[in-house]
Amino acid sequence: MKDNEQKLSDYIDRLNAEQKPDEDEYSANSEELKELYRSVRLVRSLKEPAMPGTDFHKNLVQTAANPFVQKKASAKRKWGWLISAASVAAVIALLINFMIPVGGGNVVNAMEKAFQKVDAYHGTLEIVQSNANGESMTQSKLEVWADKDGRYYTKGLEGASQDFVTVNNGEQKWQVQPGRKQVHIFPAFPDVFRFQFELGNEIQGVKNASKTNVVGEDTVAGRKASILEVTPDGGLPYRIWVDKETKLPLQKETAMYNAIQYTITYSQIDFSDAIPESFVSYQLPAGYEEIQTSPEQIVTNLSEAEQIAGFAPAMPEILPAELVLECIAANQNLVKLYYDALRKQIIVQQETAVGELKPDPSAMIGSMYNGFVEIQSPVAGNPDLRSIRWQQDGIEYTVMGNVSLEQLVSSAESFMNGPLELPSMDEQGSKPQVEVPYDMEVENNEQKSVDAGSSPWRIDPVFVAQVFVSLQMSPEGITGEYPIDIEDLEMTENNGTTAIIRVNSEDAPSKTVYLERLVRQDATGIWTVVGYDPS
């Protein structure tokens, strides 16, 4: 019996690690184990499958098209010939591997797989700033602890944040500032700024890149590493050094922009089971003042929340199966429900609506049975976070989480009591009467410049339309106030790729402005005017 308990536990552990189990329902000798393994598999089928990396399907094509693989499947008699051919191919592949830089798909997959096995890591992070003349200086040094649940602890060792301790333990985030003898408390989620070179985020960034190439080898902090050049969609290429032994990132070198470049290195890193509990347990140090940046109060049930907020918060009877209510917080006119969604988080915020909902300029506009819905996927400045916002019966709802858009939509629909219609990406909106020509090279350069922090207004379609209409009205240039007020511009359509802005001013030469995200179709993509309808 004890043996079966252990075997069952090992089976669950292997599946949790997304690895092939040593024994399963088809290979087990015990009838009882077969049944138990099958039950585990069935229960596990309630959750979403772990999907492979983005390069997986590209590699599939290569594997499927590889003549050796096909012949192995179809012509079993030609073993001798095939083995010789395979040997020659292997030698050639080996030579190519050493002589020519290759695509980074395998390195990316290996990184992802290696990170899945990491429970927690501890390292020293050094951030070095370099200029175009090759002069470098250490900007800061941090001690970092992080785990796979997204909890972290950082302590400044050198630089502007020396001695600052920042912790997010999943329940709250705080920063200890010894100079001021203060501890600042923040909500744990959303955590807009975590720390640089967080391994999970870096690997995700590499996975989402449009191109990755292994461009060489190097030694970093005494460890042998492959150098991976990563080109984000429409962005400048940067480099990641991947440890050959652990298969995890060791160093990152950003692109040189405005003659400045940053190199972020784990000068030391090791892996463990967990962050020491004392590092992620909150305790106000003696003599320190606690500063609450989010004065919401944790309550035990909805009726307490109602008393504080002054309205009865909605709580649907049927929610997606993976959502588990973890905590309820309330403030005057506001209630927040914190859900755990299979190790990810969703917050449903309900607050008394004040005026009409004004959608964020970078948001898509969806619809529900009695109005429109603002969808930010992702939220600007935070690629992991998505949000859906709408007003209903005098309450403004925001459903926000680091989950997929589909998961967020189904959670939002539970609170809407109806379907949410996402804007169609394929739909060709109405065509402008006058087309405005553009130069893709200029737009690509502009996107890179915006990525580096210049002209942030280019990611706001309303602002881009305001500048366009203003320049139509004052072709010699804008001095002082814009001739058209931003309040006179109304976004009527936005599906994340194309947007239409209506101009509510008789003085303006255009009544409608048409925009497109030409380079990159996400929250970081710039908007360009592609046409207009004259007044």
Partner 1 sequence: MAWAVEKGFLYLFRFTVFACNVLKSLSVFYFADVKILTSADTKSIEEICSETWEALYRFVYYKVQNREEAEDITQETYAKAYSYLQKGKIAPNKYSAFLKTVAQNVLRDLWRKKKRRGTAVDLDAINPKDYAMDDPAESSAQRHVIESALTQLTMEQRTVIELRIIKGYSVADTAKLMNKQETAVRVMQHRALQLLAAIMKTNQ
Chain contacts with partner 1 (rule: CB under 8 A)? 4-6, 8-9, 12-21, 24-29, 32, 34-36, 38-47, 49-52, 56-57, 59-61, 63-66, 69-70, 72-74, 119, 273, 321-322, 324, 342-343
Mind spelling out the 3-state secondary structure of 335-346? EEEEEEECCEEE
Cβ-based neighbour number of residue 74 at 10 Å: 8
Q: Least distance in Å: CB of 21 to partner 1?
A: 7
Q: Least distance in Å: CB of 32 to partner 1?
A: 8
Q: Are 388 and 412 in contact (CB under 8 A)?
A: yes
Q: Closest CB to partner 1 among 9 and 307?
A: 9
**Could you identify the residue written with the tokens 């602002």?**
463
Q: Least distance in Å: CB of 49 to partner 1?
A: 4
Q: Closest CB to partner 1 among 349 and 407?
A: 407
Q: Closest CB to partner 1 among 73 and 354?
A: 73
Q: Closest CB to partner 1 among 112 and 443?
A: 112
Q: Closest CB to partner 1 among 319 and 368?
A: 319
Q: Least distance in Å: CB of 30 to partner 1?
A: 9
Identity of the residue numbered 165 = V
Beta carbons within 8 Å of 124's beta carbon, 6+ residues apart: 141, 142, 143, 144, 157, 266, 267, 268, 269
Q: Least distance in Å: CB of 22 to partner 1?
A: 11
Q: Are 254 and 241 in contact (CB under 8 A)?
A: no
Q: Is 256 exposed, middle or buried (0-12, 13-18, 19+ CB in 10 A)?
A: middle
Mind spelling out the 3-state secondary structure of 5-22? HHHHHHHHHHHHCCCCCC
CA distance 389 to 163: 39
Phi, psi of 363, deg, nearest 5: -85, 155
**Could you identify the residue written with the tokens 């307490």?**
304
Q: Least distance in Å: CB of 340 to partner 1?
A: 8
Q: Least distance in Å: CB of 134 to partner 1?
A: 43
Q: Closest CB to partner 1 among 284 and 321?
A: 321
Q: How far apart are the first and last CA of the chain?
A: 82
SS3 437: coil
Q: Closest CB to partner 1 among 19 and 268?
A: 19
